[in-house]
């Protein structure tokens, strides 16, 4: 049973979303009638149709409604059950494994990868254009929790965000909210550093932005080289942080002062 459907109707319409999923690429849709015909299949087809990239570090909140999350968690929980079965873990009689599939699904959507599904944090900007405007450097330290795309192992560390105030300012907590929104995805630290710089520039209209991240990676500590004291540092410099040696030095001096104030 096939029926022509526009992808937008599929995802925006109330009941259509529940009953129809796309087949054969983009144009053909069939009534949902068995396993494998899932909401995630429909959303994936729409993103492919729109040539929307959906890598582990990409935000796809334009394609996933808040009301979709519960259904997607149920799908992921069923898939995690299959993973546990393949690992030969008894999820029927082992009390610690009974709810694990659903716990994993919820953890991915609501916590460790929440930054993929949630829209950008609201960062209201305040004007900084009076005669006594703030013209100095601002350095904000943000705690980060992330996950590596390669092994889905935890990454934990801090980002130091430096900015020369432009014509608008955002609330101090917003820097950390933006950084954490970028981090709560599957990431590479190098890309995460770029992502945070780009989103801070977008929220503040500032051209002079720097981001320094230092983090420890579960994939180096818990497996592979088992390196327990390894620390990875990445830096992205934009505008005067890149072109002016004094600005760059002030940024790193500020980081040292922060680390003396509260070691991290
Ligand atoms: Zn890794």
pLDDT of residue 68: 92
pLDDT of residue 115: 98
pLDDT, tens only, 90-144:
999 999 999 999 999 999 999 999 999 999 999 888 888 888 888 899 999 999 9
pLDDT band at 264 (very low <50, low <70, confident <90, very high): confident
How close is the Cα of 49 to the center of ligand 1, in Å?
Answer: 30
pLDDT of residue 162: 98
Q: Which residues of 14-39 are buried (b: 16+ CB within 10 A; e: fewer)?
A: eebbeebbbeeeeeebbebeeeebbb
Q: Which two tokens stand for residue 74?
A: 């149920």
pLDDT band at 262 (very low <50, low <70, confident <90, very high): confident
pLDDT of residue 21: 56
How close is the Cα of 154 to the center of ligand 1, in Å?
Answer: 8
How close is the Cα of 58 to the center of ligand 1, in Å?
Answer: 17
pLDDT higher than 80, residue 182: yes
How close is the Cα of 263 to the center of ligand 1, in Å?
Answer: 26
How close is the Cα of 156 to the center of ligand 1, in Å?
Answer: 12
Between CA 95 and CA 92 the distance in angstroms is 8
How close is the Cα of 56 to the center of ligand 1, in Å?
Answer: 13
How close is the Cα of 79 to the center of ligand 1, in Å?
Answer: 22
pLDDT, tens only, 148-173:
999 999 999 999 999 998 888 999 99
DSSP state, 26? T
* Higher per-residue pLDDT: 220 or 6: 220
pLDDT, tens only, 11-58:
444 444 445 555 444 444 544 444 455 789 889 989 999 999 999 999
How close is the Cα of 149 to the center of ligand 1, in Å?
Answer: 6
How close is the Cα of 75 to the center of ligand 1, in Å?
Answer: 25
How close is the Cα of 213 to the center of ligand 1, in Å?
Answer: 16
pLDDT band at 229 (very low <50, low <70, confident <90, very high): confident
How close is the Cα of 218 to the center of ligand 1, in Å?
Answer: 7
Mean pLDDT (the chain) is 88
Is residue 134 within 8 A of residue 172, CB to CB? The reply is no
Stated pTM of the model: 0.85
Contacts of residue 250, defined as CB under 8 A and 6 or more positions apart, other chains included, come to 137
pLDDT band at 4 (very low <50, low <70, confident <90, very high): very low
Q: Which two tokens stand for residue 139?
A: 């350095």
184-199 average pLDDT score? 97
Q: Which two tokens stand for residue 97?
A: 């494994």
How close is the Cα of 24 to the center of ligand 1, in Å?
Answer: 34
Distances (CA, A) of 214 to 103, 144, 185, 211: 29, 10, 17, 10
pLDDT of residue 10: 47
How close is the Cα of 147 to the center of ligand 1, in Å?
Answer: 8
pLDDT of residue 22: 54
pLDDT of residue 125: 86
């Amino acid at each position: 049973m096939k029926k022509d459907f526009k992808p937008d109707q599929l995802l925006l319409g109330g009941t259509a979303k529940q009953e129809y999923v796309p087949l054969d690429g983009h144009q053909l849709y069939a009534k949902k009638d068995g396993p494998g015909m899932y909401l995630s299949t429909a959303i994936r087809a729409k993103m492919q149709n729109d040539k929307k990239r959906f890598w582990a570090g990409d935000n796809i909140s334009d394609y996933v409604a808040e009301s979709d999350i519960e259904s997607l968690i149920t799908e992921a929980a069923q898939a995690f059950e299959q993973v546990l079965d393949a690992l030969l873990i008894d999820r029927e009689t082992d009390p610690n494994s009974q709810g694990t599939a659903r716990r994993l699904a919820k953890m991915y959507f609501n916590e460790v990868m929440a930054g993929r599904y949630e829209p950008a944090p609201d960062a209201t900007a305040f004007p900084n254009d009076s005669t006594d405007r703030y013209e100095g450097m601002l350095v904000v330290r943000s705690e980060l929790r992330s996950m590596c795309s390669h092994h889905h192992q935890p990454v934990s560390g801090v980002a130091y965000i430096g900015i020369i105030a432009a014509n608008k300012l955002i609330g101090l907590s917003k820097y950390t909210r933006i950084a954490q929104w970028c981090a709560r995805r599957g990431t590479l630290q190098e890309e995460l550093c770029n992502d945070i710089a780009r989103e801070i520039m977008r929220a503040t209209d500032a051209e002079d932005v720097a981001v320094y991240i230092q983090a420890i990676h579960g994939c180096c500590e818990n497996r592979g080289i088992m390196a327990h004291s390894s620390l990875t540092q990445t830096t992205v410099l934009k505008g005067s942080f890149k072109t002016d040696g004094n600005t760059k030095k002030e940024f790193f001096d500020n980081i040292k002062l922060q680390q003396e104030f509260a070691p991290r």
